[in-house]
Amino acid sequence: AQSVAQPEDQVNVAEGNPLTVKCTYSVSGNPYLFWYVQYPNRGLQFLLKYITGDNLVKGSYGFEAEFNKSQTSFHLKKPSALVSDSALYFCAVREMHRGSTLGRLYFGRGTQLTVWP
Amino acid sequence: DTAVSQTPKYLVTQMGNDKSIKCEQNLGHDTMYWYKQDSKKFLKIMFSYNNKELIINETVPNRFSPKSPDKAHLNLHINSLELGDSAVYFCASSQDRARGYTFGSGTRLTVV
């Protein structure tokens, strides 16, 4: 079974400091991993994904994520946080069905990121 | 040219009423989903359709009934609304497993 854990409900950082939002996953095969961001009263927006290849994935708004197979982690990072990055962040893993192109996304419970000036 | 659009954006209704939420995507995706986001922001999948065929039906009360007239539309009908149905409902679509979802902006349902 697939699952995603985001161990921190909240992350608080000062503007200009680096930020990390943690995510660990559990899948039976190779994972497809995603990060989404949700701003207040908005839908989820795609940030970045890992499918295969380079373990460091770059995405929107200066975010990046590092895939670590041995630690089954896919932490979201940004070198210098902005106040406007304050939002709810979701990690997700795509279910793999052999011989099928279908499969749901399993979401973590979300991490509220607050960047203070 | 909104990719996934939901209507209405807000819905306030009384207990016991029946209501529908509509979703349309213009991305040409084959698969569409309904998710419920509760007050703690947890996202729970409800249904998924692929080319008008129901492929995921989670443990959802049978008061909830999805309908997909074509692969670009997935509507959600809710009968006999209860207070606990209050949540934000998101529609999403996707094309293949190497891609993520494209989400609608959500429908905030409030049952009073």
B97 interfaces chain A, CB cutoff of 8 Å: yes
DSSP B25-51: E-S--SEEEEEEE-TT--EEEEEEEET
CB contact under 8 A, B97 and A49: no
Instruction: Phi first, then psi: give them for residue A84, nearest 5 degrees.
Output: -70, -10
**Which residues of chain A neighbour B40 with C-beta distances below 8 Å?**
109
Which residues are CB-neighbours of B70 under 8 A, at least 6 positions away?
B52
User: Token pair of A89, please?
Assistant: 């962040």
B39 interfaces chain A, CB cutoff of 8 Å: no
B105 interfaces chain A, CB cutoff of 8 Å: yes
> What rounded mean pLDDT belongs to chain A?
90
pLDDT digits (tens, 9 = 90+) for A70-111: 999 999 999 999 999 999 999 999 876 544 445 678 899 999
**Which residues of chain A neighbour B54 with C-beta distances below 8 Å?**
none
Residues 64-83 of B with CB under 8 A from A: none
**Assign residue B80 a region: left if phi > 0, alpha if psi is -120 to 50, beta otherwise?**
left
CB contact under 8 A, A94 and B48: no
Q: End-to-end alpha-carbon separation of chain B, Å?
A: 34
Contact A19, A10 (CB under 8 A): no
Contact B78, B62 (CB under 8 A): no
Mean pLDDT of B78-90: 96
What pLDDT score was predicted for residue A102? 56
**Which residues of chain A neighbour B105 with C-beta distances below 8 Å?**
42-43
pLDDT digits (tens, 9 = 90+) for B43-82: 999 998 888 888 887 878 999 999 999 989 999 999 999 9
Mean pLDDT of B89-109: 88
pLDDT digits (tens, 9 = 90+) for B10-54: 999 999 999 999 999 999 998 999 999 999 999 999 998 888 888
Residue of B nearest to A6 (CA): B42
| Spatial distance between the Cα atoms of B44 and A60, rounded to a whole number of angstroms | 25
B59 interfaces chain A, CB cutoff of 8 Å: no
Which of A39-43, A59-63, B74-78, B106-110 is predicted least confidently?
A: A39-43
CA dihedral B3, B76, A111, A28 (to 10 degrees): -90
Shortest Cα–Cα distance, B55 to chain A (Å): 9
**Which residues of chain A neighbour B49 with C-beta distances below 8 Å?**
none
| Spatial distance between the Cα atoms of B55 and B111, rounded to a whole number of angstroms | 28
Check residues B1 and A2 and name the one with the higher pLDDT: A2
| Spatial distance between the Cα atoms of A50 and A20, rounded to a whole number of angstroms | 17
**Which residues of chain B neighbour A97 with C-beta distances below 8 Å?**
97
DSSP chain B: --SEEEE-SEEEE-TT--EEEEEEE-S--SEEEEEEE-TT--EEEEEEEETTEEEEE-S--TTEEEEEEETTEEEEEE-S--GGG-EEEEEEEESSTTS--EE---EEEEE-
Shortest Cα–Cα distance, B33 to chain A (Å): 9
